[in-house]
Amino acid sequence: MTELLSLPHLSRSPRDPAFVQDPYPFYDMIRQAGPVVQWQEWGLPVTARSTVVSACLRDRRLGREAPEGFGQTPPAHLAPFYDIEAHSMLELDGPRHAKLRAQVLRAFTSRRIAALAPEIETLCHQLIDAFPAGGCDLLPAYAQHLPAIIIARLLGLPDATAPDLLRWSHAMVGMYQARRTAEVEAKAVAASSEFAAFIRATLAERRRDPREDLLSAMLAAQAGDGSGLSEDEILSTAILLLNAGHEATVHSLGNAVAQFLERETQWPQGDPAAEAALVEEALRVDPPLHLFERWVLEDMEIGGQAFRRGDRIGLLLAGANRDPSAWDRPGILDPARPSRPHHAFGAGAHFCLGAPLARMELQIGLRVLFARLPNLSLGERPVYADLYPFHGLETLALTY
């Protein structure tokens, strides 16, 4: 590993309560300290500058897969989790990543996503119809169910499985978080085993009775010559889609509602272009994933700092989204702000392939919510959860 003692060193625990509720002042400190800064508690050099983050996301000399000789063998007791990770496109680069991504992109066509709009709107109304009188916590009542049910339907899973999918997903993503402990690991391993058994049983059913869903489509892509998808690859892809397909949207939806109500931002009903622009601005100001790591695959320079093969760097997506060199008054939610690309969905080879679906779910979900509940207001101050590097609310108490 490269000796990076020459970098500015900054200290802040990602579990510090003040940081959990508002990490942006620390990102400002990082950005001001230099293009690349050593974040002591995270144990990595990080960058919060928009130009550097953007370049790193697109640079093929950086990747998600550890270069040969630098990865670590996971302990045996965590095998059920890492056996799934080994075939996840999120953790792969090159031809294997391209093959998996191409198969899934066939389901995420613009036509197929657009065709989901009436179904998403109907589900939004059904969820709101079930709200208790007077007020509720929006997260379990609305934000969690909407994306979980939609991604489950895409895969061909019944709505009734949503509670299990949510439970398994929450347990598994704990492995990426600063709060990871032996207890978190044990829950993730149990969830991985249960989730894998469920998907394998469903795949067996789809072999006997194919349907018009993504699981059936991936099974149809299997080939005896090795050019198709193995069952392990289908399993990992299905679990990744279910986890990533709802976790980020849950946080995005909750964060957006909290922002709009705190800042008294009016939802632009009847103006689809303005709705889309406001969704992008909400994603920029408070995205669901704050940090994404990359391995250095060959010796290179980042932000004027020399890195060697086998080093890693943390890309602070949320910090880059508030870089004043890229956006005027970056911490302000401005519905009229001229549109320009932000970093909430990443970029390059690992750009979020579910971004079009997430954007549509957010736009429809917010439109229906504010149309149905015009007197929506905060019942309590929103509280963010200890989930870093994810950033989402623990509770969002609303009255209406």
The predicted-structure confidence for 265-283, as pLDDT tens digits, reads as follows 999 988 999 999 999 999 9
Find the angle CA(373)-CA(374)-CA(380) to the nearest 5 degrees.
75
Average pLDDT over residues 16-23: 98
Phi, psi dihedrals of residue 330, rounded to the nearest 5° = -65, -25
Answer whether residue 114 is part of any domain: yes
CA nearest 103: which of 6, 210, 216, 194? 216
**Each residue of 324-340: pLDDT tens digit?**
999 999 999 999 998 88
Q: Quick one: pLDDT band at residue 227, thresholds 50, 70, 90?
A: low
The total of structural domains in the chain comes to 1
- Confidence at residue 141, expressed as pLDDT on a 0 to 100 scale: 97
Task: Kindly report the number of other CB atoms within 10 A of residue 145's CB atom.
Answer: 22
Answer whether residue 140 is part of any domain: yes
Answer whether residue 4 is part of any domain: no
CA nearest 398: which of 263, 248, 252, 381? 381
Which residue range(s) make up the domain with 212?
9-399
Answer whether residue 3 is part of any domain: no
Answer whether residue 212 is part of any domain: yes
How far apart are the C-alpha atoms of 171 and 352, rounded to whole Å?
A: 21
Average pLDDT over residues 290-303: 97
Contact 101, 64 (CB under 8 A): no
Answer whether residue 301 is part of any domain: yes
CATH of the domain at 125: 1.10.630.10
**326-329 contacts: CB < 8 A, separation 24 or more?**
326/50, 326/51, 327/284
Q: Quick one: pLDDT band at residue 223, thresholds 50, 70, 90?
A: low
Give yes or no for residue 5 having a pLDDT over 70.
no
Answer whether residue 343 is part of any domain: yes
**Each residue of 104-146: pLDDT tens digit?**
887 778 888 889 999 999 999 999 999 999 999 999 999 999 9
List CB contacts of 282: < 8 A, sequence separation 6 or more.
252, 255, 256, 259, 260, 333, 362
List CB contacts of 76: < 8 A, sequence separation 6 or more.
none
- Confidence at residue 250, expressed as pLDDT on a 0 to 100 scale: 95
As a whole number, the mean pLDDT across the chain is: 94
**Each residue of 244-263: pLDDT tens digit?**
888 899 999 999 999 999 99
Average pLDDT over residues 194-214: 95
Answer whether residue 348 is part of any domain: yes
pTM value surpassing 0.85: yes
CA nearest 195: which of 79, 101, 81? 81
**Each residue of 164-181: pLDDT tens digit?**
999 999 999 999 999 999
